[in-house]
Amino acid sequence: MLRKLATGLCVVALGLGVAVAAHADDSPAAAQDERPPVPQNDSFYTPPSPLPDVPAGDVLRSREVTLYAEPFRVFPAPVKAHQVIYRSTSATGAPNAVSGTVIVPPTPWIGPGPRPVMAYALGTQGLGDQCAPSYQLRVGTEIEIAFLVQAMVKGWAVALTDYEGLGTPGTHTYATGVSSGRALLDVARAATRLPGAGIDPAAPIGVFGYSQGGQAAASAGEQHAGYAPELNVRGTATGGVPSDLNLVARSNNGGIGFGLVLGAAVGLSAAYPELGLDQALNAEGKKLAERVANACVAEMVVAAPFRRLNDFTTTPDVIDQPKWQKRLAENRLGTVKPSAPVYLYHGTIDELIPYSGAKELKARYCAVGTNLEWHSIPLGEHVLTVSVWGTNALNWLGDRFAGKPTKNSCAG
């Protein structure tokens, strides 16, 4: 059955350009089939109001959906998939609602113990609601489908978060590790509480993510003990982690990835309203910020290459202000010992997230006593690194599910 899914994957593997082109619903393929409405036009994504007073991770709404592995929607994925709206918690501690997807493969789990769950944090999708993974999986444009297939072939269930404000109303809190880590832990909770999914509450959980997903995964690993201690988290596999947002901003300000810097500023200001980015932007900046806030990743990256944040603000060096530095510090990773082992990898020539930041994160993790396996990927730039090494990270989670011993790079 999963061979059909793998067949569809071949189409996606032809390149990011195919998926991105198909995402704009004006392709010939889009005209030939009935696609679900984008989240902005789908009432499912609007959470109950007022929000029910229920524990974090409780499912507020769910529906069964059909997923596709390719943009032409020829091969329905032979899996049981549920879209969910679930209760989570914002970066400031307020209850919120987040959307996501829980996927269970058709084959029964034959390993020891209950079926494992991979809590998957996807890399940057964009800030527009139409970029939400739960939607892209239904129209066949989710570019990280390869790792989902690998997990399901192993018999694992997968729980994916859309993150706060991506799909659901409000601005996506892009680059805010605190909220994204909580959203990831809560979608794992939701998977174990979803009626009909058949997932045991004691199921082993593996946390997985790269880039923005790496930030979310690492943050989830650090918050697990204090936020969701009942989850049976066995390990966190994370790569390309933007662990220090100050460093990432300095590296990309004036570079080809500047659109991501502005996206992060928009996301952080949504998470922490006192930052007031909108009040600091000039007319051109407000126009560009609005564009970025409604764009998917391909458009974000090319929104304003080689520009600088000061070009778009009325006050220079906005993020150096104490209120910004306070919130950036709250999202700096590596100062808390994760409760489960961590697998960390990074490319040595990553053009978006500096390798130096990964080495500093490794040092901080070792300093707090983390059980850490570290891998430096020679000549690995940002996308190439996950392409060639992501499967190793995923297989490392399989070893944690199997109870195999870890290799601690901090020892000795």
For residue 225, the domain's CATH number is 3.40.50.1820
Q: Which of 329, 358, 390 is the last residue of a domain?
A: 329
Strand order in the sheet with 342-347: 59-65, 80-89, 95-104, 157-161, 117-121, 204-210, 232-239, 342-347, 372-377
Is residue 411 in a domain? no
Domain match, 198 and 325 both: no
φ/ψ of residue 330, rounded to 5: -65, -25
Q: So what's the pLDDT on residue 33? A: 58
Residue 93's domain spans which residues? 2-244+332-401
Q: Which of 68-72, 229-233, 341-345, 363-367 has the lowest mean pLDDT?
A: 68-72
φ/ψ of residue 398, rounded to 5: -60, -40
Domain match, 68 and 206 both: yes
Domain match, 240 and 250 both: no
Domain match, 226 and 284 both: no
Give me the mean pLDDT over the 194-217 stretch. 97
CA–CA distance, 158 with 105 (Å, rounded to integer): 9
Average pLDDT, the chain: 92
Domain match, 251 and 151 both: no
Is residue 169 in a domain? yes
Is residue 218 in a domain? yes
pLDDT, tens digit, for every residue of 308-322? 999 999 999 999 999
Give me the mean pLDDT over the 281-304 stretch. 96
Is residue 56 in a domain? yes
CATH number at residue 308: 1.10.260.130
Is residue 393 in a domain? yes
Q: Which of 272, 301, 329 is the last residue of a domain?
A: 329
Closest CA to 192 of 96, 95, 102, 63: 102
Spatial CB neighbours of 214, under 8 Å, sequence gap ≥ 6: 121, 123, 238, 239, 240, 241, 242
Domain match, 206 and 350 both: yes
75 pLDDT band (50/70/90 cuts)?
Answer: confident
Q: Is the pLDDT of residue 2 over 80?
A: no
Domain match, 32 and 91 both: yes
Q: So what's the pLDDT on residue 5? A: 36
Is residue 264 in a domain? yes
Q: So what's the pLDDT on residue 16? A: 29
Is residue 262 in a domain? yes
Q: Specify the pTM.
A: 0.92
- Domain total for the chain? 2
Q: Is the pLDDT of residue 29 over 50?
A: no
